[in-house]
């Protein structure tokens, strides 16, 4: 459940947000129990998902045009619990400059935050966030609990915003927020949204979108689409 927040690419505040459908609040556990169940779901995923591969397609858009990307990249992501992540670039097109200053550093950052001993700092759990359940909503047909999160540690890979967890197993369905810290004194805030789906019983990222704007670079949007997951699972606990 690590979150890079794409902060290496962006330079100023943004205001785009996808609003879930609000639904009447069914009976839900008390706030302390919700947080405990989220922590258990995070641990279960980490302990059980031993490795996975997937295909990721990155697209970078500039200005108001979100139809014609200025740069694209497709990679194979290989994760091993005892190693972290490695990336194989399958194809790239468009601006070599954007690839060099944006997409390549993004992959380097993902490698770093997913190293054993580092990845725990990006988890959406009570160790990294103050969590406050705040009602319920539907996310793409899933009944979810909305949880307001505030990062305990300011870093480019933590956010302040909301997460949505499935009411049945407390796994992530969506995150939406602002990076709690900019990656440099020259960068502003970055807005991130990421959606998850259940793959073999565990939440895996399916689509992500990050946006910012600055006087120097203008408006920039990055999208990532994830597909073709292959998971190796250990014993369920």
| Residue where the block lists tokens 């992540």 | 85
Task: Give the model's pLDDT for residue 89.
Answer: 96
As averages over each run of 10 residues, the pLDDT of the chain (237 residues) reads 44 43 61 96 96 97 92 97 96 94 90 92 95 94 96 88 96 93 61 95 96 76 96 90
pTM: 0.85
pLDDT of residue 196: 97
Long-range contacts of range 73-81, CB-CB < 8 Å, 24 or more positions apart? 73/99, 73/103, 75/107, 77/53, 78/51, 78/52, 78/53, 79/49, 79/51, 79/52, 79/53, 79/114, 80/50, 80/51, 81/46, 81/49, 81/50, 81/51, 81/116
CATH of the structural domain 7-14+27-229, one choice from 1.10.540, 2.50.20, 2.60.120, 3.40.33: 2.50.20
CA distance 13 to 189: 5
pLDDT recorded at residue 21: 56
Residue spans per domain, the chain: 7-14+27-229
pLDDT recorded at residue 164: 98
């Amino acid at each position: 459940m690590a979150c890079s927040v794409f902060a290496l690419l962006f330079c100023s505040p943004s205001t785009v947000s996808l609003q879930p459908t609000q639904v009447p609040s069914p009976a839900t556990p008390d706030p302390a129990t919700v947080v405990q169940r989220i922590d258990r779901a995070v641990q279960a995923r980490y302990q059980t998902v031993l490795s996975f591969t997937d295909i990721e397609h990155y697209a970078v858009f500039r200005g108001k045009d979100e139809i014609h990307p200025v740069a694209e990249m497709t990679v194979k992501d290989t994760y091993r619990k005892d190693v972290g992540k490695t990336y194989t670039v399958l194809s790239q097109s468009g601006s070599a400059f954007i690839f060099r200053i944006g997409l390549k550093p993004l992959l380097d950052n993902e490698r770093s935050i997913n190293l054993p001993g580092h990845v725990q700092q990006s988890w959406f759990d009570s160790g990294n966030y103050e969590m406050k359940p705040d009602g319920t909503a539907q996310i793409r047909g899933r009944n979810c609990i909305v949880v307001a999160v505030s990062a305990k540690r300011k870093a480019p890979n933590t956010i302040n915003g909301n997460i949505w967890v499935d009411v049945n197993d407390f796994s992530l369905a969506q995150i939406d927020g602002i990076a709690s810290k900019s990656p440099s004194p020259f960068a502003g805030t970055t807005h991130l949204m990421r959606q998850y789906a259940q793959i073999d019983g565990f939440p895996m990222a399916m689509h992500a979108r990050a946006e910012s704007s600055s006087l120097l670079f203008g408006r920039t949007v990055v999208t990532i689409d994830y597909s073709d997951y292959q998971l190796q699972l250990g014993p369920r606990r």
